[in-house]
Structure 1
Amino acid sequence: MTNSFVLDKLVMKMAKDKVMKQTAGNYPAPLRILETVRKGLVEGPTEGYNFESQCFGELTQSYQSKALIGLFNGSTECKKNKYGEGRPVKEVAVVGAGLMGAGIANVTIDKGLRCVLLDMNEQGLERGENQIITQLNGQVKRKKINKLEKERMVSNLVASCDYSSMKNSDIVIEAVFEDLALKHKVIKQIEGIVGPVIGMHYFSPVDKMQLLEIIVHDGTAKETLATAAQLGLKQGKLVVVVKDCPGFFVVRCLGPMMSEVIRMLQEGVSPPALDKLTKQFGFPVGAATLADEVGLDVSAHVAQFLGQALGPRVRGGSADLLSDMINAGFKGRKTNKGIYVYQDKGKKKVNEESTKILQKYQLKAPENCSSVEDQQLRLASRFVNEALLCLEEGVIASPSDGDIASVFGVGFPPFWGGPFRFVDLFGAQKLVTAMEKFGSAYSAEQFAPCRLLQDHAKSGKKFYQ
């Protein structure tokens, strides 16, 4: 009795609390493991083993199991070269030594390829080189590579401000600041060195984010696609081919959801509460924190671009609110002030000055759409609906591609399996009903279920068998 009391009140409680903190209860297996361990300790090995087999059988039939197995199968497919033989690539040039460019160079030399890293000035080059060296030193410290391997990788890196340095490069990747005029200028400069142009959309931080979207149009040559895919696979990426459209796939889906995030902040949902409800739904990073991590200036730029390209459907919160935040110097994590104020050792607190700006744009929330479940569904439905619209328009080739891109590109909850698996598991009709409720309270256009979602709701069809 005493041992059981100690086990339950101390050991098991601490273990369960830790599991709940990490999973928010969204993954049943860790909790069943704890129950199994307790069963064996209290009732003996035989009972423990019997209970373990029972739990295992039950878990294989859970929706989380189906979702995670689907992700495993989908990601395995994305690691295969389905695009034919491309041109041999021995040297890669990366133009732009910022966070993204240095990250691309890093995963290139990491796989034994030579990489020429270019920037407009020595200061930019030095920053990029330092980022790469710091990352490699971290790998040595964690014993992922040894010092000799690190030196071999560094020897494959050539840093230069001279564009002629890339004359022997087999592929050139433009990774300059998100300024269209600058990008046009850079592409003009490199067009004389390399031939066909193709989009390769990496995600930051490049050394950690596994997804690579390869952007094609009707005139893209098969060999060009094959060469880009071949390089992405060599860099260890999950390759998803996306047809050219505003925002490509992941950013296009994320845009409407982030617009809804801004609207919720205007409705008085506090940043910590917003972070909590999005993490409870299964996203790895809270929505308010994600806005700061992306950068409020970048979010505003993307929102404006998508709004102009795709219309009112992708809008939500006030664009003027974001402009006021940016003008006040609140750009997010990179300036240590955004929705939060960032302090030493990763600590943060709500930025009281940004709260005053939010109050200026305060909205009254409809009572029938303000429960935590409603708020979670408002965010998820806008992402999911846009993802289905992309499949409907042929932007992505399959539901699996959309699910892999969403989970590995932006952290859509893995236990839901991605937006398409989510529709299957949550229920298309249930989602349509929720969106119609939100549409009547907000904007019928912003919450209008796309034709594909309506078809699945009416017919009961599923994306996966």
Structure 2
Amino acid sequence: MKTLLLNRPAVIHDPPHVLEDIIHGHPVTPKHFRLEVDHDGIAWITFDSPKSSANVWNEETLREFNHVLENIEHDTRAKALVLRSAKERIFIAGADIKAIRSLPHARVNDLIWLGQAVFDRLARLKIPKVAAIHGACMGGGFEVTLCCDWRIASDHDSTKIGLPETQLGILPAWGGSTRLSRLVGLRKALDLITTGKLLNAGAAKKAGLVSHVVPMERMEVLARRLVRGKRPASRFHFENFLAPVIGRMARRKVLQKTRGLYPSVTKAVEVVCHAVRGEIENGLLLERNAVDELLRSPDAARLIDLFFKREEAGKRPVSDGTVLPILDATVIGAGVMGSGIAHTLASRGVRVLMTDVSNDSLARGLERIHGLVSDATRRRLVTQVQGRDTLDRISATHVKVPLCRHHLIIEAATENMELKKKIFADLAMRVPVDTILATNTSALSIAELARSVPHPERVIGLHFFNPVHRMPLVEIITLPETSADVLATAVSFVQKIGKTPVVVKDSPGFLVNRILVPYLMEAVRLHQNGVPVKDIDDAMLEFGMPMGPMRLLDEIGLDVAAHVARTLATAFPDRFPNSDALDKMVSAGHLGRKSGEGFYKYENGKEITPARHADLPKHESIQTKLALLISQEAMRCLKEGIARSADDIDLAMVLGTGYPPFRGGPVTFARDTGIIDY
């Protein structure tokens, strides 16, 4: 162990015996790394895990990396070091989360010790070190770069940098919680770690995470130039001396945002603020202790399980059909949803034709798209070039044009069945028989729509959620006659545009709205019985929902919510009593935020909070009642086979409604708490 840590007095005192065995065991032959020392004395370490599209840290790769560093220490030719990846879109994806989830708790602790020790060895190397980042650089992938003198990044759109561990219920524990504040200052470090945000190369440079951003082809030349120059001095951040004050402010902020429901975030504030000063070793000890504590929490287990569910849904095929390539698509309708869908498709490389009945409608739609691109560019979520390319992929017309090369049509017109039937009947005469006809309806019957066209096997529902550019879920609604090729193509397409697909049956409300409506309608009923909207919303915020049900109704639009509620009341009259409360509000012109008044009043876009009342049901009773309704309907959907699995239901509710991720989803919540007999 002393060989690794170079006599640092307290780096990892009393290391576990298994770690001693790993470090001082038999030499390993690296399979995941290539080491080449060139004529300039630069040691090029290339991370390239065989038979995998990603590089990850696990016991095997950490041992190999340790062995490579040891070779460099003893190679007198090595005057500098460059760490890079051979993968096309991934630098290092971080720790192997599957290994962490499957290992016994004690072995996870060993893995944390090992990562800290090996990365510390890199930090202690006396030669200049450069991390050449191309592709995803997350978690432990970024933590290892913090041990280098320079971090340079490619300007490719696959380059994303950050520390997302708090989203998994843990925190950066291979030095990230200790070293980042020394690089960028305490405030930025806290923001990056507590939010878990990932930055593109330009935003990472602005934040100070990397020093240079260049095209991938120029990274080697830049790395060579940097190692020949003067090594950068440690930056002085005066704010780091104000850690107690900044820590108190940050803690208040995260508690206000999370209501104390995410222990990893508050623990991260504590660790980062205590680790910012003093020896690195003390910070590493704090990291280890914090992760040990957090991993014992069921919240972390649920968040990690949810991560796997989303990863699987974003990659897995769902049928044995043939996936047809879709390079061009048509979006019918330039309203909020239509323009949002067009923008999302174009930003992911799809050429889009957006159509509507008038130039005025198209102009408003294009204006919304320009606004989305401008906002993303301003916030450095995309580069100027990427924004321009997105706009270049979108064309618009209000006249009928040939659609022969467009293999996907997405209709996003008003929620009116007769109008949609008319649009589909027209499309059926203008496109080839193998063109997929998709509708973005949130509640209307796909089967009824399919009966209006020849070849109903090509009709499918693609239900995007608003706002499209932010909401990650797409419900793919199928019929018994949906062809395997259509389903395979639709799922692959949704994955291609960066969304998470969940396949559901054609049923009133589909999945998310079917589960959500009883919850929303019960909230309305509580209000009718005298419970103030603020009390109802506060109760569910304390449960972990990102927005209370009354505020959510205002955001959705009371007219839209009333339409979906009527659809479900017609389909399930015994369980969805038809309330006229929303209809009365709509008739009075109170549509929610868009009209300036719903359950809340709004002035200049700002909510005016209604007053509270006394002597009303406690928040806990409201929570219990409303949470129970969500889980009950979720379990009914599972029993009826509306979705393919409980995992899909949980994932859809988390991604589509913001159901508290740390609770795992409504099915997991029901099973863990036993609130439902099933």
**Matched AA of 2:264:** A
Query: Alpha carbons of 1:164 and 1:265: their partners in 2 closer, same or farther (altered >3 Å)?
Result: same
Pair 1:307 & 2:542 matched: no
Q: Where does residue 478 of structure 2 map in the other structure?
A: 216
Is the contact made by 1:338 and 1:351 (CA closer than 8 Å) also made in structure 2? no
Shift of 1:163: 2.9
Match of 1:104 among 341, 348, 364: 341
Pair 1:226 & 2:461 matched: no
Q: In 1, Cα distance between the equivalents of 2:280 and 2:378? A: 41
Q: Where does residue 17 of structure 1 map in the other structure?
A: 252
Shift of 1:40: 5.4
Is the contact made by 1:94 and 1:101 (CA closer than 8 Å) also made in structure 2? yes
Shift of 1:147: 2.8
Q: In 1, Cα distance between the equivalents of 2:561 and 2:264? A: 36
Relative to the length of structure 2, the TM-score reads 0.57
**Matched AA of 1:228:** A
| Structure with greater proportional helix content | 1
**Matched AA of 1:104:** I
Shift of 1:93: 0.5
Identity %: 34
Match of 2:651 among 379, 404, 412: 404
Shift of 1:85: 3.1
Shift of 1:76: 0.2
Q: Where does residue 383 of structure 2 map in the other structure?
A: 146
**Matched AA of 2:506:** D
Q: Where does residue 295 of structure 2 map in the other structure?
A: 60
**Matched AA of 1:330:** H
Tell me the alpha carbon deviations over residues 392-434 of structure 1, each in whole angstroms, 9 at most, x when there is no partner. Answer: 1111111111111000011111111111221233x22xx13xx
Tell me the alpha carbon deviations over residues 146-181 of structure 1, each in whole angstroms, 9 at most, x when there is no partner. Answer: 333322222221111123343431111111011111
Is the contact made by 1:116 and 1:165 (CA closer than 8 Å) also made in structure 2? no
Shift of 1:187: 1.3
Query: Alpha carbons of 1:120 and 1:38: their partners in 2 closer, same or farther (altered >3 Å)?
Result: closer
Q: In 1, Cα distance between the equivalents of 2:275 and 2:395? A: 58
Q: In 2, Cα distance between the equivalents of 1:175 and 1:285? A: 26
Is the contact made by 2:653 and 2:659 (CA closer than 8 Å) also made in structure 1? yes
Shift of 1:191: 1.7
**Matched AA of 1:82:** P
Relative to the length of structure 1, the TM-score reads 0.83
More displaced, 277-286 or 141-150? 141-150
Q: In 2, Cα distance between the equivalents of 1:323 and 1:36? A: 51
Matches within 5 A, 1:118-137: 118-137=355-374
Q: In 1, Cα distance between the equivalents of 2:633 and 2:593? A: 27
Helix, strand or coil at the partner of 1:348: strand
Tell me the alpha carbon deviations over residues 13-64 of structure 1, each in whole angstroms, 9 at most, x when there is no partner. Answer: 3222112111101011122234435665899876664443222112112121
Pair 1:78 & 2:325 matched: no
Q: Where does residue 25 of structure 2 map in the other structure?
A: none
Is the contact made by 2:355 and 2:362 (CA closer than 8 Å) also made in structure 1? yes
Q: In 1, Cα distance between the equivalents of 2:648 and 2:590? A: 35
Pair 1:325 & 2:585 matched: yes
Pair 1:391 & 2:651 matched: no
Bigger radius of gyration, 1 or 2? 2
Is the contact made by 2:520 and 2:550 (CA closer than 8 Å) also made in structure 1? no
Shift of 1:273: 2.1
Shift of 1:289: 1.0
**Matched AA of 1:161:** H
Helix, strand or coil at the partner of 1:268: coil
Tell me the alpha carbon deviations over residues 262-302 of structure 1, each in whole angstroms, 9 at most, x when there is no partner. Answer: 01211222222222211111111122110100111111111
Query: Alpha carbons of 1:41 and 1:150: their partners in 2 closer, same or farther (altered >3 Å)?
Result: closer
Tell me the alpha carbon deviations over residues 330-354 of structure 1, each in whole angstroms, 9 at most, x when there is no partner. Answer: 011111111112122x4211479xx
Is the contact made by 2:243 and 2:274 (CA closer than 8 Å) also made in structure 1? no
Is the contact made by 2:491 and 2:501 (CA closer than 8 Å) also made in structure 1? yes
Pair 1:26 & 2:265 matched: no
Q: What is the count of residue pairs matched by the alignment?
A: 409
Structure 1 unmatched runs, 5+: 1-5, 360-364, 433-453, 456-465
Q: Looking at both structures, which has the greater relative contact order when contacts are Cα pairs under 8 Å and sequence separation is at least 6?
A: 1
Query: Alpha carbons of 1:101 and 1:32: their partners in 2 closer, same or farther (altered >3 Å)?
Result: same
Is the contact made by 2:322 and 2:484 (CA closer than 8 Å) also made in structure 1? no
Pair 1:242 & 2:477 matched: no
Match of 2:535 among 247, 255, 273: 273
Is the contact made by 1:339 and 1:350 (CA closer than 8 Å) also made in structure 2? no
Pair 1:423 & 2:670 matched: yes
Q: In 2, Cα distance between the equivalents of 1:200 and 1:78? A: 16
Tell me the alpha carbon deviations over residues 433-464 of structure 1, each in whole angstroms, 9 at most, x when there is no partner. Answer: xxxxxxxxxxxxxxxxxxxxx23xxxxxxxxx
Match of 1:347 among 606, 617, 627: 606
More displaced, 188-197 or 44-53? 44-53
Q: In 1, Cα distance between the equivalents of 2:475 and 2:314? A: 13
Helix, strand or coil at the partner of 1:145: coil
Query: Alpha carbons of 1:46 and 1:90: their partners in 2 closer, same or farther (altered >3 Å)?
Result: closer
Structure 2 unmatched runs, 5+: 1-241, 434-457
Q: In 2, Cα distance between the equivalents of 1:102 and 1:40? A: 47
